[in-house]
A and B are shown apart, each in its own frame.
Chain A
Amino acid sequence: MKLLPLAGIVLGAASFLLGIRGEDPSRAWGSYLVNLVFWMGICMGSITWVAIMNMTNASWGRPLKRLAEAQVATMPFLWILVALLYAGHRSLYIWSTHPVHGKERWLEADFLFGRDLLVIGAMTLVSYFLVHQSVRADEEKLLGGDETSVRLRWRRQILLSPVLGILYGVGMSVLAWDLIMSLDPHWVSTLFGGYYFMGGLYSALAWLAVLSFLFHRREGIQGKIDGSVFHDLGKLLFAFCLVTGDFFYSQFLVIWYGNIPEETKYVILRVKTEPWNSVAWVVLAGAFGIPFVALLSRKLKMSPPLLGATALVVLGGMWLERFLLVVPSVGARGQIPLGWAEVGVAVGFLSLEIMCFRWFMERVPWLPVGDPLFEKRWGSLSGDPLEVSGHLPGSNKGGKVRG
């Protein structure tokens, strides 16, 4: 079981390498970029979700805090993966071979990747400090450490949370403009950055719902992620479904009504032209229609398997949405380029995330016992360190707590 994620990564790397050495390297790079922007949204959105919960004093979601924080482990790899994308910029970005008049300096590969790596690096560092303070507070609490130190760490989390929130909004917008919007360098939309980072938060919540379903019965946290937490998580997922739908519509309506050719061509290509129009309908159903109808039901929201299944539909819809943003601009015509090679690359990214998640959760307490908001709602659990510290099913590192 432990080797499975590693095998997935090898499969992903092999699919990708075969792709870029084949006839159409841009197809492989396109697939790489789709997964990269999808997982960037999930990982950075997850930590930002924690920051939002900290800033709003939300106690209901505290048992989910560590599951969300685990995505910090993937972030350094995402930085490396963006750096690797530099190797494919000539296959992906038309501006690298045909500079756009007036934007030569902004859309210049070294500058673009330099600033993007800086942005991701900053987000990764702040996320790391935030999660570090959170984990250390729990460990100190479990080991009966100094209460003042635990409180100080909470204070630091409160200070870092707005910094990450601002960085997320601005940073993800820059990444959206650079990595996705510039694929079609003549097309602009002022909402595009906001649309991407809201979609990232939506996907992050869906991923968290899947993780919650998978681990809510795990020894140690059993009973903490209960029906009411799933209910609230479902409601929040529903709210983000509406916001994402609203952002899509706000962007679409203005472009449709304005009817300016340089704006409409981007939308027409995706929603009116074969073969992309069928993908667009699937995206609308998966990312908005199905979750909207499903999440109206209280019973569904309170049922872990049903909420998990709905979240999977959302994730599928959002993955395809990223696909629809990227791939039509990369130059694919005729058939939808969605074959085994794309599945392989997607499996590779998913496996990387799973591997990082496992690595992280094996080393930290599963419940944020040092978090005052957790304590406020669930009381102190500092009695037995083994009770709340981590080991995944099948792992032999149970109960390991750093001193």
Chain B
Amino acid sequence: MKDWQASTPKSYSEVQEMILGALSPPGRSYWGAVILCLFGLLYGASCWAYQILTGMGVAGINHPVNWGIYLVNFVFWVGIAHSGTLISAILYLLRARWRTSIARAAEAMTVFAVMIAGLFPFIHLGRVWIFYWIIPYPNQRDLWPNFQSPLVFDFLAISTYLTVSSMFWYMGMLPDLAALRDQSTGLKRRIYGIFSLGWQGTHIQWRHYGTAYLLFAAFATPLVISVHSVVSWDFALSIVPGWHSTIFAPYFVAGAIHSGLAMVLTLLIPMRGLLGLQPLINVGTLESIAKTMVLTGLIVGYSYGVEYFMAWYSGNMFEWDTFIWRAFGHYAPQFWVMVVCNVAGPLLFLIKAIRTNLIWLFAVGIIVNIGMWYERFVIIVGSMSHEYVPHAWGVYSPSWVELSIMLGSFSMFLFLFLLFCKFVPPVSVFEMKEHLWTHGKA
């Protein structure tokens, strides 16, 4: 920790050089990683094309598990998207200054994750070429979506969230894009010039910018809570045992932030090392993320416990049987992976030596990511395979097509994030300067 503390930037020019310096032309290994991810993405896309051409039969979903890992991935990626807004908007409103250096990257992660999440309902659709039937507009077929369906709430919530988080992210970058424009030449200057929307840094522009940023933050905060609440209601509004639960909305929101923060650790620890941003994204910042994860892990653990208690207390035999089956039935290994990874894993962060050690931080980040993916699997697949009628019980395994599309989604996420790291300032230059002004250090 001490070795890089000495190089903490002390002036505005040092901050600017350090961040914009991270955008220097990348080496072969970077392009190798980009191409590898692109291949993964293309492979996933071709598997989707294969599914469209062949039919949904190539996926493992069938009665009684009609929602398989496509929707597991959908919920997983929407969850990943939550930390960006937590960090860039909620922590901004709470004046938690440690978020400054990671807000940009986390917000980028949000935008990419929502884009990927938004693809999965389409991948899951039987006839994706008529997806626009769900959009409420007057048409000659007199088709109107059922507004009481949570799937329509979902469509509206996700598209609103994608719009707002993209705008929030892009608007936050304007001053930095202008700074990039000013120090580049030729075609690069023209491209950055277009994207910086004529930003000159005048007093009036800054005033408008400050107001807009605050308004966006205030608008994004309830929105982010609503998005995962609506996702949770895709399940909770039904009467399927294990799904119909009033705690689902806050439980899903806490779980989403949990997984999102884990993903921030997973991506930012390598990123800061590769781009030389250790003095800005320091161990103190990562420690704050770890402490927040202890809280979200405890909320998730509380929700698991309460669900079990209430399943027993309700006296509802279907509910109780579902929960017993979760812990000891076919999907018991996934269930216990979920509990250990999501609840016990982050509790390691109660030890200061662990939450200030990069290897541990990275490892627990990965563990929680795995746990949160399995949480969605246990909820979605676990409940559908064991509903009310015993003769309709059945288990599900994802097919190679489903797993390939999932691989494609991870590849797409990493592909977009790698491009982000080298084409856009990964840390907000002007906010770090502001931080330097307020605190005397970046």
A residues near B (Cβ < 8 Å) are 56, 60, 100-103, 106, 166, 169-170, 173, 177, 186, 188-194, 235, 242, 246-247, 250-251, 253-255, 257-258, 260
- In the complex, chain A residues whose CB is within 8 Å of the CB of B315: 100-103, 186
Pick the contact of A190 from B94, B222, B229, B306 — CB < 8 Å?
B306
- In the complex, chain B residues whose CB is within 8 Å of the CB of A100: 315
Contact residues, B200-232 vs A (CB, 8 A): 222, 225, 229
Sample of 14 more A-B contacts, CB < 8 Å, known A190-B247, A191-B246? A56-B96, A166-B298, A190-B248, A190-B303, A191-B250, A192-B246, A194-B306, A235-B93, A246-B225, A246-B250, A254-B237, A254-B246, A258-B238, A260-B244
CB of A188 within 8 A of CB of B250, answer no
Task: State the CA gap A309–B238 with chains docked (Å).
Answer: 42
Given A188-B313, A242-B222, A260-B239, decide whether A250 and B298 contact each other with a Cβ distance below 8 A: no
Q: How many Å from the CB of B332 to the closest CB on chain A?
A: 22
- In the complex, chain A residues whose CB is within 8 Å of the CB of B229: 246, 250
Contact residues, B286-320 vs A (CB, 8 A): 298, 302-303, 306-307, 310, 313-315
Given A101-B315, A258-B239, decide whether A194 and B222 contact each other with a Cβ distance below 8 A: no
Q: Can you list 8 contacts pairing A with B, beta carbon distance less than 8 Å?
A: A60-B95, A169-B302, A189-B246, A190-B246, A242-B222, A251-B246, A254-B245, A257-B233
CB of B313 within 8 A of CB of A103, answer yes
Q: How many Å from the CB of A241 to the closest CB on chain B?
A: 12
Q: How many Å from the CB of A9 to the closest CB on chain B?
A: 36
CB of A173 within 8 A of CB of B306, answer yes
Q: How many Å from the CB of A100 to the closest CB on chain B?
A: 8
Q: How many Å from the CB of A14 to the closest CB on chain B?
A: 38
CB of A253 within 8 A of CB of B302, answer no
Question: Is B236 at the interface (CB under 8 A from chain A)?
Answer: yes
Task: State the CA gap A347–B310 with chains docked (Å).
Answer: 36
Q: How many Å from the CB of A254 to the closest CB on chain B?
A: 5
Pick the contact of A258 from B237, B249, B310 — CB < 8 Å?
B237
- In the complex, chain B residues whose CB is within 8 Å of the CB of A101: 315
CB of A194 within 8 A of CB of B233, answer no
Q: How many Å from the CB of B75 to the closest CB on chain A?
A: 17
CB of B307 within 8 A of CB of A250, answer no
- In the complex, chain B residues whose CB is within 8 Å of the CB of A170: 302
Least CB separation from A173: chain B residue: B306
Pick the contact of A188 from B248, B249, B314 — CB < 8 Å?
B314
CB of A250 within 8 A of CB of B250, answer yes
Task: State the CA gap A173–B222 with chains docked (Å).
Answer: 25
Q: How many Å from the CB of B218 to the closest CB on chain A?
A: 10
Q: Mark B97-116, 1 if CB is under 8 A from A, else 0.
A: 00000000000000000000
Given A170-B302, A188-B314, decide whether A254 and B236 contact each other with a Cβ distance below 8 A: yes
Task: State the CA gap A261–B14 with chains docked (Å).
Answer: 66
CB of A194 within 8 A of CB of B314, answer no
Q: How many Å from the CB of A205 to the closest CB on chain B?
A: 15
- In the complex, chain A residues whose CB is within 8 Å of the CB of B93: 235
- In the complex, chain B residues whose CB is within 8 Å of the CB of A253: 233, 237
- In the complex, chain B residues whose CB is within 8 Å of the CB of A60: 95
Least CB separation from B148: chain A residue: A257
7 residue pairs, one from A and one from B, having the closest CB atoms = A190-B247, A250-B249, A191-B246, A257-B237, A191-B247, A251-B246, A188-B314
Pick the contact of B250 from A103, A173, A194 — CB < 8 Å?
A194
- In the complex, chain B residues whose CB is within 8 Å of the CB of A235: 93
Q: How many Å from the CB of A88 to the closest CB on chain B?
A: 23
- In the complex, chain A residues whose CB is within 8 Å of the CB of B236: 254, 258
Task: State the CA gap A399–B177 with chains docked (Å).
Answer: 59
- In the complex, chain B residues whose CB is within 8 Å of the CB of A106: 313
Least CB separation from A193: chain B residue: B306
- In the complex, chain B residues whose CB is within 8 Å of the CB of A242: 222
Task: State the CA gap A166–B299 with chains docked (Å).
Answer: 10
Q: How many Å from the CB of B157 to the closest CB on chain A?
A: 14
Contact residues, B77-134 vs A (CB, 8 A): 93-96
- In the complex, chain B residues whose CB is within 8 Å of the CB of A247: 250
Least CB separation from B96: chain A residue: A56
Task: State the CA gap A174–B377 with chains docked (Å).
Answer: 29
Q: How many Å from the CB of B154 to the closest CB on chain A?
A: 14
CB of B244 within 8 A of CB of A254, answer yes
CB of A255 within 8 A of CB of B246, answer yes
- In the complex, chain A residues whose CB is within 8 Å of the CB of B96: 56
Contact residues, B401-436 vs A (CB, 8 A): none
Q: How many Å from the CB of B226 to the closest CB on chain A?
A: 9
Task: State the CA gap A290–B95 with chains docked (Å).
Answer: 26
Q: How many Å from the CB of B217 to the closest CB on chain A?
A: 12
Task: State the CA gap A208–B245 with chains docked (Å).
Answer: 33
- In the complex, chain A residues whose CB is within 8 Å of the CB of B239: 258, 260
Task: State the CA gap A106–B246 with chains docked (Å).
Answer: 22
Task: State the CA gap A60–B96 with chains docked (Å).
Answer: 12
Least CB separation from A256: chain B residue: B237
- In the complex, chain A residues whose CB is within 8 Å of the CB of B225: 246
CB of B246 within 8 A of CB of A250, answer yes
Task: State the CA gap A378–B310 with chains docked (Å).
Answer: 47
CB of B237 within 8 A of CB of A190, answer no
Task: State the CA gap A162–B240 with chains docked (Å).
Answer: 36
Task: State the CA gap A305–B160 with chains docked (Å).
Answer: 38
Task: State the CA gap A378–B75 with chains docked (Å).
Answer: 46
CB of B310 within 8 A of CB of A190, answer yes
- In the complex, chain A residues whose CB is within 8 Å of the CB of B246: 189-192, 250-251, 254-255
Task: State the CA gap A192–B247 with chains docked (Å).
Answer: 8
- In the complex, chain A residues whose CB is within 8 Å of the CB of B314: 188
Task: State the CA gap A251–B310 with chains docked (Å).
Answer: 14
- In the complex, chain B residues whose CB is within 8 Å of the CB of A254: 233, 236-237, 244-246, 248-249
Least CB separation from A100: chain B residue: B315
- In the complex, chain A residues whose CB is within 8 Å of the CB of B298: 166, 169
Task: State the CA gap A359–B62 with chains docked (Å).
Answer: 68
Task: State the CA gap A233–B313 with chains docked (Å).
Answer: 38
Q: Mark B238-269, 1 if CB is under 8 A from A, else 0.
A: 11000011111110000000000000000000
Task: State the CA gap A259–B91 with chains docked (Å).
Answer: 38
Q: How many Å from the CB of B349 to the closest CB on chain A?
A: 12
Least CB separation from B302: chain A residue: A169
